[in-house]
Chain A
Amino acid sequence: GESVGLHLPTLSVQEGDNSIINCAYSNSASDYFIWYKQESGKGPQFIIDIRSNMDKRQGQRVTVLLNKTVKHLSLQIAATQPGDSAVYFCAETPFRGNTPLVFGKGTRLSVIA
């Protein structure tokens, strides 16, 4: 992936507001996309996934939108809580097979109480 150095894009939101985190992916052949949450000093934690035959998928307080035309993903978090503060990464890969994940640039979400 492209290097972003030490300065991740940052999104600051007020507790209770909705958050939208965006991601651009690069490989038109990818048909499976995953959002991960990574807290400081921990490994990435699965949040939600979506296959390319869908354009929207909802989970508990989270929604992922996929726009294949412009190769764009977004993660929406409803009623953002302090525990949502973390770095969020999108990853792309083919749905089938044992291929590696390609991670996008992360976004640091800071929730203001």
Chain B
Amino acid sequence: ETGVTQSPTHLIKTRGQQVTLRCSSQSGHNTVSWYQQALGQGPQFIFQYYREEENGRGNFPPRFSGLQFPNYSSELNVNALELDDSALYLCASSTPLLGYNEQFFGPGTRLTVL
């Protein structure tokens, strides 16, 4: 069984640029949730994708967008990057077929905005 993977592990961007982060869900999981974790804080929910549709969104502006593909992998896109977007971006996969809401996290992508 393959766990949740994310790419890239680190990247550095400048203000105003755009970035795409990728996540492959655990085998058999059809739901991907994205979280932003600023330094010294707990993860904050960005949005969730279930069967290729957005299935809930946290308090993040529209310049945070996403996609989910037929193989359930997912992308997080951030436009017009701001300094405060510097954070660890985590994805977590889950499946309602498990019967309960256990989420499995990937290692994260560390984004630095200069």
Residues of A within 8 A of B (CB): 1, 3-8, 32, 34, 36, 41-46, 49, 89, 93-106
B70 within 8 A of A: no
Contact A94 B101 (CB under 8 A): yes
- Contact in complex: B43, A98 (CB < 8 Å): no
Q: What are 16 sample pairs from A and B whose C-beta atoms fall under 8 A apart?
A: A1-B41, A4-B41, A7-B40, A41-B107, A43-B90, A44-B90, A46-B102, A89-B42, A95-B101, A97-B96, A98-B31, A98-B96, A100-B56, A101-B35, A101-B103, A103-B43
The answer to whether A101 touches B100, judged by C-beta atoms less than 8 angstroms apart, is no
Taken together as a complex, chains A and B put the C-alpha atoms of A49 and B35 apart, in Å, by: 20
Interface of chain A, main secondary structure: loop
Asked if A98 and B41 make an inter-chain contact with CB atoms under 8 angstroms apart, the answer reads no
B48 interfacial contact with A, CB 8 Å: yes
Alpha-carbon distance A89/B42, docked complex (angstroms): 7
A49, B102: Cβ atoms closer than 8 Å: yes
| A99 to B94 CA separation, bound complex (whole angstroms) | 10
CA distance A99 to B103 in the complex (A): 10
Nearest chain A residue, comparing its CB with the CB of B9: A41
Sort A-B residue pairs by CB-CB distance and give the 9 closest, nearest first: A103-B42, A43-B105, A100-B45, A6-B40, A43-B107, A44-B105, A43-B108, A1-B42, A103-B43
